[in-house]
Structure 1
Amino acid sequence: MGRRSFLAGVGGLAAVAALGGCASASSEDTVIVGSKGFAESWIMGELYAQALRATGRTVDLRTNVGSSEIIDKAMMSGQIDVFPEYTGVIVSSLAGYPEILPTAQETFDYAKNWEEERGVTVGTMTPFENKNAIAVTEQYAAQYNLTTIEDLRNVGEFVYSTYPDNVEGGSGYEAIVANYNLPNMQLKTLSIGLNYQALEAGEIQAADVFTTDPQLLRSNLVVLTDTLNMFGFQNVVPLVAPGAMDRLGDDGLDLLNTINDLLTLEAIQTLNAAVAVNRLDPAQVATQFLDVNDLL
């Protein structure tokens, strides 16, 4: 599905009620879908819940459940049946594996094996992944012939921005300087989202971004290749709680996998733009996407 056709479809929708968690009791045959507290997770939760409802299932969607650790505990205690999770988060934050695996497939395989040992069913991973990256303007990339992060060694002193919590750590400023040998990279900390304004204003030359940010749909930004894979891999998979396959069924999991297969990088950036930039309601945006793809 093209970005223009989708945005044309959602452009007339009005933003409505704010999202909130659903605390109502559910019957034994209800499928409980959970999501975290940010736009991309709201969208994924709505896609799963609405598509399952369209098959005649009773679905209880619970938004803003909490962090990965909290929603994982909710799943393992039977409070959540299905939720979308990032493969790299499963590997590092939940399973506690200390290293970044070499490929997206190996990250998925490790996550799947670890989850299945706990009785969790894992669906297919999305084509898109949401991870840290470094972006520069197209003009700056052309001026210095930049395509990879290590190319930044050749530009002289420059300013890079990230959010305050990402200075240290495995994907933070200090690690980038050390791993890519970039002593010429100076630091400016900014709140998430302000880095794009700073790039356009020329206040910084490189910015820490997330790969599914809707701002990256602009043609004047270039994401530099992370040749060392230090940012890891973060594709999304549907997780199904132990025992919940009885309610979801194989056909229900197949449906979630079909949704995931449709979520290319451009598709999720477009969905994120509709919610985070155009302020449309995630439920209506999800409905439009599912309708266009004949899943309602």
Structure 2
Amino acid sequence: MRYGRTLATAGCGLLVATAALSGCGLKSGSPLVDDVVPGSIGQGLPLKGASLIVTSKNFSEQIILGSMIGLAFKAAGAEVLDRTNIQGSIGAREAIKSGEADAMYEYTGTAWITYLGHDKPITDPLAQWRAVRDEDVKNGVTWLPASSLDNTYTLAINQANNAKYHLKTLSDVAALSNSDPSAVTVCVENEFASRDDGLLGMEKAYGMHIPASNIQKMDAGIVYTQVAKGTCLLGEAFTTDGRIKAMDLDTMTDNKHFFPNYNAAPELNSKAFHKYPAIAGLLDPISKRLTTQIAQQLNALVDVDGQDPHDVAKDWMIQEGFIKKG
């Protein structure tokens, strides 16, 4: 849920900033009890004696990524408190800033626009990450290198419909909307439909002409099923969503780079990182391995197959050789 990720109430952020541990979903957490030991990371137990807190927002991908951090810390010898699954973006963010939590995966576009207040995204993913890293240091936040996992917006179409229209890019959608406006029906969540950084801005940037009567607003989760059934030709989607592959949907390339890059990168409380700089050596190899396609696969195990996100993270970490069972 993009807006669940990037927009949260200011009141919730203030509650966390004043160290309240309730009301925003920030809980006392539970100790990570997994019996894991170093694999390719954590050799020599560089975090032995450390007590660290991991957090995440409250959707599948975030819980998976937060669990990966916790498991890496645990294998490296740390005692880990699990505070993943925090409601909204602001709660988890403020926990990192205040030191209520030490580490999480965050998205570069979310930080640049929502937290740091910029209107225009930076097209180059590396330049976007560098700009976030350099500006956020003043907030007591350290960013480690980003993954290529990019959970940004796209439009999805089922393969039966795309066999007819052969759409590959958002420019292709714009061309169809101008040549045959009645053919382009779009399912979107309510907020995305009305925002300048959502459907309205995308239409303007690409010169799309979609009749208002052809735009159907609904809950985000329903969009995928409606596109799969063909109720809508196109639907708002997120590039790492596991339902894209599970439902055999095609997605459009944002060839004009209208939407921000939402690359996942470790976001750390700077005091914690300065105390335990070995964290970088633990998380960098994980970030290098994470891709949009891997995220789709892992998210599908949770959102389609019903597996537990922590178990999905642990199985992947072991499969990749980062950690081993104790």
Q: TM (normalized to structure 2)? A: 0.79
**What's 2:102 paired with?**
81
Q: Which moved more, 1:188-197 or 1:91-100?
A: 188-197
**What's 1:23 paired with?**
28
Contact 1:214/1:270, CA 8 A, preserved across alignment: yes
Cα deviation for residue 242 of structure 1 reads: 2.3
**What's 2:296 paired with?**
269
Listed one character per residue, the Cα deviations across residues 119-140 of structure 1 (whole Å, up to 9, x for unaligned) are: 3221111111111111112333
Letter in 1 for 2:249: L
Count of residues paired in the alignment: 275
Q: Which moved more, 1:31-40 or 1:252-261?
A: 252-261
Letter in 2 for 1:283: H
Q: Helix, strand or coil for the counterpart of 1:250?
A: coil
5+ residue gaps, structure 2, are: 1-24, 32-48
Q: Structure 1 segments of 4 or more deviating over 6 A?
A: none
Distance across 2 between alignment mates of 1:34 and 1:175: 32
Contact 1:170/1:230, CA 8 A, preserved across alignment: no
1:123 aligns with 2:144: yes
Cα deviation for residue 145 of structure 1 reads: 3.0
**What's 1:4 paired with?**
none
Which of 173, 191, 197 is the aligned partner of 1:165?
A: 191
Distance across 1 between alignment mates of 2:62 and 2:72: 15
Q: Helix, strand or coil for the counterpart of 2:100?
A: coil
Distance across 2 between alignment mates of 1:286 and 1:22: 21
Listed one character per residue, the Cα deviations across residues 159-197 of structure 1 (whole Å, up to 9, x for unaligned) are: 011001111223322222222222145201121121222
Q: Give runs of aligned pairs for residues 1-296 of structure 1, distance below 5 A.
A: 22-23=27-28, 29-155=50-176, 156=180, 157=182, 158-184=184-210, 186-218=214-246, 220-247=248-275, 249-296=276-323
**What's 1:3 paired with?**
none
Contact 2:149/2:292, CA 8 A, preserved across alignment: yes
Contact 1:52/1:59, CA 8 A, preserved across alignment: yes
5+ residue gaps, structure 1, are: 1-19
Contact 2:228/2:249, CA 8 A, preserved across alignment: no
Judged with a 3 Å threshold, the aligned counterparts in structure 2 of structure 1 residues 125 and 74 are, in CA distance, closer, same or farther, namely: same
Q: Helix, strand or coil for the counterpart of 2:216?
A: strand
Distance across 2 between alignment mates of 1:39 and 1:195: 17
Q: Helix, strand or coil for the counterpart of 2:185?
A: strand
Letter in 2 for 1:170: D
Distance across 2 between alignment mates of 1:120 and 1:142: 47
Judged with a 3 Å threshold, the aligned counterparts in structure 2 of structure 1 residues 282 and 179 are, in CA distance, closer, same or farther, namely: same
- Alignment root-mean-square deviation, CA: 2.1
Q: Which moved more, 1:98-107 or 1:158-167?
A: 98-107
Cα deviation for residue 115 of structure 1 reads: 1.6
Distance across 1 between alignment mates of 2:154 and 2:29: 39
Distance across 2 between alignment mates of 1:33 and 1:254: 17
Cα deviation for residue 211 of structure 1 reads: 0.5
Cα deviation for residue 22 of structure 1 reads: 4.8
Listed one character per residue, the Cα deviations across residues 132-156 of structure 1 (whole Å, up to 9, x for unaligned) are: 1111123333322321112123431
Cα deviation for residue 246 of structure 1 reads: 4.2
Letter in 1 for 2:147: T
Q: TM (normalized to structure 1)? A: 0.86
